[in-house]
Structure 1
C-alpha cells in the first residue's frame, strides 16, 4: 500500500485518435472567438455575414459547436476512469494524486484564461471534475449515465423556466412592458461592453487585453450554472463508457458503436440543424420560448452528434491513427492554438482579426491543424510526452518524468 501511483505507458490508440480529432473540432469552433469578444456569443451570429462566410459560420455552428467540447469532455471523464481503474488494480493511493492533478490543471487554466485567451476550457473542466470527485466518486456504474441525463436536462429546464416566466407576464401588459424594457436597457449596456472589448482586441496592448480578460472571466463565472452541468454530464458519460468496457474493449462492442453511429447521425443532424436555425441570430439574453426550444433541440443534437463522432472515429481508428500523436499531446496543442492565434489576430500581435473574412477561418484552422499533426509526429517520435504534458505529470507526481525516448 505504500507504493506511489505512477503514470503508465499503456495507451489506447483509439482514445488518442479521438483526442486528436476533438482538437480539430475545438479549433474550428474557437477560431471565431479569437476574433470576436467572447461576450458576443449571446448576440448570435454576426449580422453582416454573407456568401461563403455565412455558409462556413452556419455549418460550424450546426456540426461542430457544442459537439467537440462534448466529445472532449467524454474523453476527460474516460481518462479519469482509466486512471482510477489502474490505480485500483495496483492497490495504490489515487485520490490525492488526482486532486493534485486537478489543482494544477486549474492553475494552468487560470493562467491561460487571464494571460492568453478568455475562452479557456481548463478552468471549467477542473472545477467540474472537482464536483465529480466530490459527489460521484463511488456512484454505481448503472447510475452514471442516468446522472448524466439529469445534468443535460438541468440547463434546459432553467431556460424553459425563464422563458415560461417571461411568457406568463404577457397576461399583464404593464409588467411585461416593464420587464422587456429592463432587458433592452441591459442589452444596450451589454452591446457597449462588447464594442469596447472589440476595440481592445483590435487596438489594445497585451496589458490592456489582460484587463479585458479579467472582465471576460467574470462573465464566464456568472454563467457557470449553464456550462458546468452539461460538462459534468459528459464526464459521467465518459466514465460509464469506460466502466462498461465499451471504450476499453471497442472490438467487443462494435455493434454498440455501429448503432450509435447511425442513431447519432439520424437524430443528431436534424435536431442540430433545427436548433441552429432557431438560435442562429437569436439574442440569448432574453429567455424567449423560441430560444428555449432552439436550445433544447441544439443540445439534444449535440449529444447525439458527439456520440456519433465518437462512434465513427472509434470504428475507424486504424485508418485515422495519424491523429494519435496530436492526441497524445492534446494539452500542448490546445494551448498552442490559442497562444498562436491570439497573437495573429489581436492588435498586440499581427492584428489580422480585422482583415481576415469568416470563411478563411476554416482554411486557416485546417492548415494550422495539419502543421500541429506533423509537429506532433516529429515530437512524439523523440519524446515521451508533449511539453505541457511533461510539466503537468512531473508536478503531479512530484518528480521529474523521463522525457526523451532515447535517454
Structure 2
C-alpha cells in the first residue's frame, strides 16, 4: 500500500511504530495520572518489571522511527517539490504547535515539542551534510548522551541522526530482505541487555550511575524488541502482528494524543486515588484495544488518521484526499 506521499509503505515500520506506541502508553499511564495529582503506588514487583522492560524502552524506538520518517519524506519531497526543506520546516513547526497544545492543555510530559525542536536544530541542518558525517555524528552523540546522562535532547538527536543515516544508506528499504543474521543479532542483544538490567536493579534513582544504566538498558532492550519483531514478522505470526499493530502505527499521532485524554478521563471518572501496576496494565489494555478497533475501522474508509491528515495538509499546504480510493471508486460506480 502506498503512503500518503505516494511511496510504497514499508510494512515493518508500521508494525514497529504500533508496537512502540503500546509500550509508550504503558510507560506513560502513571506519569500522566501523576500530572493530575493522583498518588501513584510504587515499590511492587510489578513496578520493578515495568522499570526494567517498559520505562525508557520504547521512546528510543519512536525517536529512531521519527528520523527514518523525516528522511523518507525528504526523499519523496525532493522529487515533488522545488524547495523540499521548506516543506519540512512547515512540518516541524506544525508538530511544535501540536506538541505545545498537548503540553499546555493535557500533559507536561509531551515529547512532540522536543521532537520538533531537535528536528529543527539538528535533523534539518543534517540534511546538508554528507551521509558519512551523519552516520558518524549519530553514534558520537549517543556516546555523549550516555556519558552525560542526557536521555532527552542529546539522545533524541542521536537517534534522529541514526534513523536518517539508515535511510540515506538505503538500509531501511532492505528491511524486508534482512537475512539469517537477524535471529543471532536478537539473541546477542538479549544477552547484552541482561547484565545491564541487573546493574540497574542494584542502583537507586538518585545514584549517579542510574541514568547511564537506564539509558544503556533502554537502548539495548529497544534494539532487542525491534529485532525480535522483525524475526517474528518472518513467521506465521506476521498476519496477526500486522492486524494488531499496523492500524495503531499508521495512526500513531492521533492515538498518542488521544491516549493522554483517555487516561485523564479514566482517572477522573473512576476517581482513582492510587494507581497500582495492575491498574496501569488494565488502563493501557483498555485504551489500546479501543484504539486498535477504532483505527482498523477508520482505515477501512480513510487513507490516514484525522490528525495525520491535518498534519499532511499543513505540510504540503494543499488539501490531501482523505477517503480511501477504493471507497471513492465504489461510490462513483454506484451513482
Q: TM-score range by the shorter chain?
A: 0.7 to 0.9
- Matched-pair contact (CA < 8 Å) for 2:5–2:76: no
Is structure 2 residue 263 aligned with structure 1 residue 315? no
Q: What is the CA-CA distance between 1:91 and the residue it aligns to?
A: 7.0
Correspondence 1:4-403 to 2 at 5 A: 7-8=5-6, 10-37=8-35, 49-50=42-43, 54-89=44-79, 92-158=82-148, 226-255=151-180, 257-279=182-204, 282-283=205-206, 291-317=207-233, 318-319=238-239, 320-322=241-243, 323-345=245-267, 349-350=268-269, 352-403=271-322
Aligned to 1:164: none
Over the residues paired in the alignment, what is the CA RMSD in angstroms? 2.5
Aligned to 1:288: none
- Matched-pair contact (CA < 8 Å) for 2:67–2:160: yes
* Structure-2 separation of matches of 1:134 and 1:34: 30
Matched residue SS, 2:178: helix
* Structure-2 separation of matches of 1:226 and 1:23: 19
- Matched-pair contact (CA < 8 Å) for 1:61–1:276: no
Name structure 2 gaps, 5 residues minimum.
329-335
Distance change >3 Å, CA 158–CA 133, structure 1 → 2: closer
Q: What is the CA-CA distance between 1:100 and the residue it aligns to?
A: 0.1
- Matched-pair contact (CA < 8 Å) for 1:20–1:326: yes
- Matched-pair contact (CA < 8 Å) for 2:67–2:123: no
- Matched-pair contact (CA < 8 Å) for 2:250–2:305: yes
Aligned to 1:204: none
Q: Deviations over 1:147-178 (max 9, x none)?
A: 2222223244335xxxxxxxxxxxxxxxxxxx
Q: What is the CA-CA distance between 1:362 and the residue it aligns to?
A: 1.1
Q: What is the CA-CA distance between 1:237 and the residue it aligns to?
A: 1.5
Q: What is the CA-CA distance between 1:24 and the residue it aligns to?
A: 0.3
Q: What is the CA-CA distance between 1:266 and the residue it aligns to?
A: 1.3
Q: Deviations over 1:364-392 (max 9, x none)?
A: 21232122111111000011110101111
- Matched-pair contact (CA < 8 Å) for 2:151–2:215: no
* Structure-2 separation of matches of 1:245 and 1:255: 19
Number of residue pairs matched by the alignment? 317
Distance change >3 Å, CA 10–CA 153, structure 1 → 2: same
Q: Deviations over 1:44-85 (max 9, x none)?
A: x96x635xxx12211111111111000011000010111122
Distance change >3 Å, CA 356–CA 297, structure 1 → 2: closer
Distance change >3 Å, CA 277–CA 28, structure 1 → 2: farther
Runs of 4+ in 1 over 6 A off after TM superposition: none
- Matched-pair contact (CA < 8 Å) for 2:189–2:223: yes
- Matched-pair contact (CA < 8 Å) for 2:263–2:283: no
- Matched-pair contact (CA < 8 Å) for 1:343–1:350: yes
Distance change >3 Å, CA 271–CA 97, structure 1 → 2: same
